[in-house]
């Protein structure tokens, strides 16, 4: 198991334009050339998963995780008609494009469990992880983005403790959370129990994930944040997250510490920031000393905080030094390397006497790639200007070339003026990166 889970990994969200209108095999080729052996497939709709992509990743020897959001969804098209009744209630309404769903809603929990069970039965994922199962939100008591304070939560608390939930608005109330500290402590424990019970039901409950796919790997997720000496306690209080207790109940094969937004949104975040997450690691290790741990970061969800390839390499090195078995990042194509690097030819495959496959580190603009004048043949030190090269296909980061005049002996191929695809980035641009200088690579002798 350790070998399967170990090493660098990456998150992908195939609904982004960067992954559209290209073959699944070209996506796999690009990820493989980038050095990733484990992929976390972000599932936004359990009924709409690219099974062929999962199968091709696994056929290439990569481990594939299904990454599921636990506390809500960005889309609601796939939910039953009564889904509005499942929503969390917050202290203040928020319209940020994310629908938060309540773990106290029996209908939501049952629907989610069935959806995950069907997912792992129909798609050959190697593992499943439920990210963000927590309650909102960091400093939510001051911002108002705090929940769940809806009727299901209130009823469950009343049933368990015989009291109304704490009052979070009126300081004159006898149950004001800062005044009635005993009641508030009950509320904090109640929320921790709710998160862990929710996860346990999805994973280990009757007809849940493990019942439906015995042997599938499971990872639990919790948050890490730099918030001083009380960071662990604050995450527990604000979000209902107790990683050690979660692990004890769910019994995962791996646990992931996810970088919280107060950290990842900082443009100046140093690559070794996860050294400040050691209190979270210590809390887990005190209960579960041998469980494999991973750490997750974000490389470009906001324009100002996009990370470079050097930053990501340093982050990877730091995670290894700190003893994490693996790391992952959201999301593969979001880093500054996508915005700044010129197309670079990574590999040339000779498919026969007359065909070549060119593979790049990023997606290539079809219009530029289809211009046959961008390719020339060099044989024995001379450019063979009379050889005609035909572009058969451009697919993502791959280009197929054909010529009946390719030398059978070893020769060199010169490639120039290819461009990338700025319209497909998260933050689109009108300026493409172009190969200014020709790239000359060796093509091996045919047989």
Tens of pLDDT, residues 44-100: 999 999 999 999 999 999 999 999 999 999 999 999 999 999 999 999 999 999 999
Q: Write the DSSP assignment of 384-396 as a string of letters.
A: -TT---EEEEEET
Written as six digits, the tokens of 272 are 């070794």
Classify each residue of 409-445 as buried b or exposed e, where b means 16 or more C-beta atoms within 10 Å of its C-beta.
Answer: eebbbebbbbbbbbebbbeeeeeebebeeebeeebee
Topology adopted by domain 343-443? Immunoglobulin-like (2.60.40)
CA 112 to chain centroid, in Å, comes to 20
Q: pLDDT by residue (tens digit) across 24-46?
A: 999 999 999 999 999 999 999 99
Whether the predicted pLDDT of 172 surpasses 90 = yes
Whether the predicted pLDDT of 389 surpasses 90 = yes
The pLDDT value recorded for residue 250 is 98
Calpha distance 238→139 (Å, rounded): 7
The pLDDT value recorded for residue 46 is 96
Determine the average pLDDT of the residues in 212-216: 98
Q: What is the CATH number of domain 2-338?
A: 3.20.20.80
The pLDDT value recorded for residue 81 is 96
Domain limits of the chain? Answer: 2-338, 343-443
Question: Who contacts 145 (Cβ-Cβ below 8 Å, separation ≥6)?
Answer: 90, 91, 92, 94, 136, 137
Calpha distance 443→388 (Å, rounded): 16
Whether the predicted pLDDT of 1 surpasses 60 = no
Strand blocks (E) in 188-340: 217-224, 254-259, 293-298, 326-330
CA angle 367, 428, 49 (to 5 degrees): 85
The pLDDT value recorded for residue 4 is 66
Matching fold, domains 2-338 and 343-443:
no
Whether the predicted pLDDT of 2 surpasses 60 = no
Whether the predicted pLDDT of 198 surpasses 80 = yes
Whether the predicted pLDDT of 136 surpasses 60 = yes
Q: Model confidence at 447, in pLDDT bands (50, 70, 90)?
A: confident
pTM, 2 dp: 0.96
Question: What is the average pLDDT value for the chain, to the nearest integer?
Answer: 96
**Residue (of 352, 304, 305) closest to 329 by Cα position:** 305
Q: pLDDT by residue (tens digit) across 279-299?
A: 999 999 999 999 999 999 999
The pLDDT value recorded for residue 3 is 44
CA 371 to chain centroid, in Å, comes to 35
Whether the predicted pLDDT of 408 surpasses 90 = yes
The pLDDT value recorded for residue 8 is 83
- 3-state class (DSSP) for residue 399: strand
């Amino acid at each position: 198991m350790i070998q399967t889970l170990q090493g660098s990994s990456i998150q992908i969200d195939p609904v982004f334009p960067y992954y559209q209108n290209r073959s699944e095999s070209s996506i796999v080729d690009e990820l493989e050339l980038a050095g990733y052996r484990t992929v976390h497939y972000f599932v936004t709709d359990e009924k709409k998963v690219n099974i062929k992509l999962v199968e091709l990743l696994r056929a290439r020897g990569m481990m594939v995780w299904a990454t599921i959001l636990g506390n809500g969804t960005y889309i609601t098209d796939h939910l039953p008609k009564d889904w509005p009744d499942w929503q969390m209630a917050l202290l203040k309404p928020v319209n940020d494009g994310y629908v938060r769903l309540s773990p106290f809603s029996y209908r939501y929990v049952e629907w989610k469990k069935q959806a995950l069970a069907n997912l792992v039965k129909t798609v050959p994922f190697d593992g499943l992880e439920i990210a963000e199962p927590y309650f909102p939100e960091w400093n939510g008591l001051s911002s108002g983005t705090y929940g769940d304070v809806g009727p299901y939560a209130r009823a469950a608390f009343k049933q368990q403790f015989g009291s109304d939930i704490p009052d979070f608005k009126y300081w004159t109330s006898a149950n004001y959370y800062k005044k009635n500290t005993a009641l508030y402590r009950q509320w904090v424990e109640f929320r921790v129990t709710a998160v862990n019970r929710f996860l346990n039901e999805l994973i280990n409950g009757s007809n849940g994930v493990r019942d439906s796919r015995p042997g599938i790997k499971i990872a639990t997720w919790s948050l890490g944040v730099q918030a001083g000496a009380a960071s662990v306690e604050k995450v527990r209080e604000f979000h209902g997250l107790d990683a050690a207790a979660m692990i004890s109940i769910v019994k995962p094969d791996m646990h992931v510490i996810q970088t919280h937004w107060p950290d990842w949104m900082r443009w100046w975040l140093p690559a070794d920031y996860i050294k400040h997450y050691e209190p979270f690691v210590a809390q887990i290790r005190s209960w579960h000393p041998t469980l494999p741990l991973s750490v997750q970061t974000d490389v470009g969800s906001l324009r100002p905080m996009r990370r470079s390839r050097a930053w990501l390499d340093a982050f990877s090195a730091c995670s290894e030094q700190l003893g994490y078995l693996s790391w992952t990042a959201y999301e593969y194509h979001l880093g500054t390397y996508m915005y700044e690097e010129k197309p670079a030819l990574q590999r040339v495959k000779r498919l026969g006497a007359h065909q070549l496959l060119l593979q790049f580190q990023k997606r290539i603009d079809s219009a530029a790639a289809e211009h046959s004048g961008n390719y020339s043949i060099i044989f024995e030190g001379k450019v063979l200007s009379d050889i005609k090269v035909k572009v058969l296909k451009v697919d993502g980061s791959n280009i197929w070339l054909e010529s009946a005049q390719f030398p059978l002996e070893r020769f060199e191929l010169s490639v120039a003026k290819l461009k990338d695809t700025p319209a497909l980035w998260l933050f689109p641009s009108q300026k493409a990166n172009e190969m200014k200088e020709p790239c000359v690579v060796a093509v091996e002798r045919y047989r």
